[in-house]
Structure 1
Amino acid sequence: MKNKNVLITGGLGFIGSYIANQLIDDNNVTIIDDLSTGNINYLNNPNHENLNLIKKNLNSLDLNSILIDFDYVFHLAALVSVPLSVKNPITCNLENVTSTVNLLNGCVNNNVKKIVFSSSSAIYGENNNLPLKETEVPMPSSPYAASKASCELYIKSFFESYGLDYTILRYFNVFGPKQDKNSPYAAVIPNFINAILENKQPIIYGDGEQTRDFIFVEDVAKANILAAESQYNGIVNIARGEKISINQLYNIIKNELDSEIVPKYLPPRMSDIKHSLANIDNMSKIKFNVNNHLFEHQIKCTINWFKNEL
């Protein structure tokens, strides 16, 4: 992608900043981020001449005036904490659903070419039809998951009603450098790494035999850009299409750090699903693929980043 005007909501966040870093040399990038969870230091060059940074909440802005002459919108800004969504579902709806409808309306009013929306595998809920296909009926078990499902429906309705092109990306478990160990979003890998580096026992909830489908953050950023450039209007799972147990994952990290620390097992959390695995056939529709042979190398890169941080 070159010579485009792009907007990234949540562009100072874990995933959004990777998209910004990949685009900013060849495109005009505007980021809207209220810094509630974002960090300007996630950008490789916060003073880049192609960057316009708006440090505001989406719901506080006149998006109709901001979205003039934009080609693509990458919408990542959201309240992503399941516990916080359970504690305050009204705030979750405001931050996730209301802001998305406002953004969609601004896109239509300004003839934006396409919106790429960051959704979540959480909308599948406790679904045992593995590997999960995008055609599965959503079974959200939290207000957060329900808000993502609602946004997906709104986006599709804006395509049907106004012709706004879109691609919805349902992320599975994203990991990589810069991930906040205190983040509520798929933080098991940074938690394991940091615990071992601090000579503490990592915590595993349940027996550790639950499985997840992890994907590297740089791959997720690439998927966003390919989705914007594609002609595909629809939903795409973003994952490796391979499952790994939490115990297996811990052993990879432990061995890489040459540690003998044994994890501490606690009772399973009520909100946790047992198994998660994506069907990734639809990724070909945006010409995106993942090299699964790089997984352990990507874990190593993540570990090295946390080593340097500490």
Structure 2
Amino acid sequence: MSKIAKKKILITGGAGFIGSNLCGYFLEDNEVICLDNFSTGHYHNIQSFLLHPNFKLIEGDIRDFETCERAVLGVDFVLHEAALGSVPRSINDPITTNEVNVSGFLNMLTAARNAGVKRFIYAASSSTYGDSEKLPKIEEVIGKPLSPYAVTKYVNELYADVFSKTYSIATIGLRYFNVFGRNQDPNGAYAAVIPKFVAQFLNHESPIINGDGNFSRDFTYIDNVIQMNELAMLSDHPEAINTVYNTAFGERTTLNELVHSLKEFLAEFDPEIATVPIVYGENRVGDIPHSLASIEKAKRLLNYAPKFSMREGLKETVKWYWETRK
């Protein structure tokens, strides 16, 4: 149950994976506005909210400033999740990625400032660490970006910092580390690895791992991300705002470990999945070898205590995909 009540919350990208989970979490006790252009979000993610008296949908694009201004009217908090994700997508189409992730972000930030929004909390990214080899990743130590997507997410942080200093709008960036869970789309060319692998296993198809499977990630279950957004809204400690936080569990898992855990959990529902072979391919351009977050800053300033380990979250996720499979 949400600790935030009787507030007006705008969630951009609210029909997407993370946005729809945030909508559902805050909806019972708050007025929730979902802004989405459905380029990557889905109506089915918010279908159950449409008749709820606290829910309002604005179908529109953050690249249109007037739409952004209309969406922020009377809003207490903005949770800005709208973006074009995916490193490969940004390599294939850097111009659109920049238009959405940079120009769209600036539109939302400016509209929020003009409307006197209390706090602007935005989805930052672990891709900002770029070529930095230091592990674990600490918020104050980053490298050079390795993809157009990473450039755009770093520019978001720079704009947020400038706006907080110049216009006194409170901002908090959450650097998401490989988020997974319910509502994550397994389809399309840019599907994330966990839903993609799950879908392949369910069809008894071999998942293809890029490289030898020893690349590692700090996979982060959606409920931990919801917790971080809520804590970012609640905190009034001066040191806790106008900064960025790693949003992760704080452990790393190799792709080999991931795929074997998926087989283990899915085989409980369909024993044949245990026999599906794994295929290995080439490394993907723009991928960093290893990712592991330090969550000490979030623990210290936001009292963050992630409730789900990677395997606990994965078990919940597999169950959700099995129950909602078509």
Pairwise TM-score range, normalised by the shorter structure: over 0.9
1:282 maps to which residue?
A: 297
Distance 2:217 2:235 in 1: 28
Distance 2:56 2:292 in 1: 38
Of 39, 42, 50, which residue of structure 2 is paired with 1:39? 42
| Structure 1 residue ranges (4+ consecutive) displaced by more than 6 angstroms after TM superposition | none
- TM-score normalized by structure 1? 0.95
2:271 maps to which residue?
A: none
* Gap runs ≥5 in structure 2: 268-273
DSSP 3-state at the match of 1:127 = coil
When structure 1 is superposed on structure 2, of 248-257 and 63-72 the one drifting more is 63-72
DSSP 3-state at the match of 2:28 = coil
2:54 maps to which residue?
A: 50
Do 2:65 and 2:108's aligned partners in 1 also have CA atoms closer than 8 Å?
Answer: no
1:59 maps to which residue?
A: 63
2:17 equivalent to 1:14? yes
When structure 1 is superposed on structure 2, of 39-48 and 138-147 the one drifting more is 39-48
Q: How big is each residue's C-alpha offset from its partner over 1:157-210, in whole Å with a ceiling of 9 and x where there is no partner?
A: 000001000110000011112211136777221222221211111111111111
Q: CA deviation at 1:26?
A: 0.5
2:279 equivalent to 1:301? no
2:235 equivalent to 1:230? yes
Do 2:7 and 2:30's aligned partners in 1 also have CA atoms closer than 8 Å?
Answer: yes
Do 2:49 and 2:55's aligned partners in 1 also have CA atoms closer than 8 Å?
Answer: no
Q: CA deviation at 1:81?
A: 2.6
Distance 2:191 2:252 in 1: 15
Do 2:131 and 2:144's aligned partners in 1 also have CA atoms closer than 8 Å?
Answer: yes
1:249/1:121 CA distance change after superposition, 3 Å = same
Identity of aligned residues (%): 37
* Gap runs ≥5 in structure 1: none
Q: CA deviation at 1:220?
A: 0.7
Matches within 5 A, 1:21-32: 21-32=24-35
**One-letter amino acid of the counterpart of residue 312, structure 2:** H
**One-letter amino acid of the counterpart of residue 56, structure 1:** G
Matches within 5 A, 1:158-197: 158-182=163-187, 187-197=192-202
Distance 2:123 2:223 in 1: 14
2:130 equivalent to 1:114? no
2:206 maps to which residue?
A: 201
- TM-score normalized by structure 2? 0.90
Matches within 5 A, 1:121-160: 121-160=126-165
Do 1:82 and 1:184's aligned partners in 2 also have CA atoms closer than 8 Å?
Answer: no
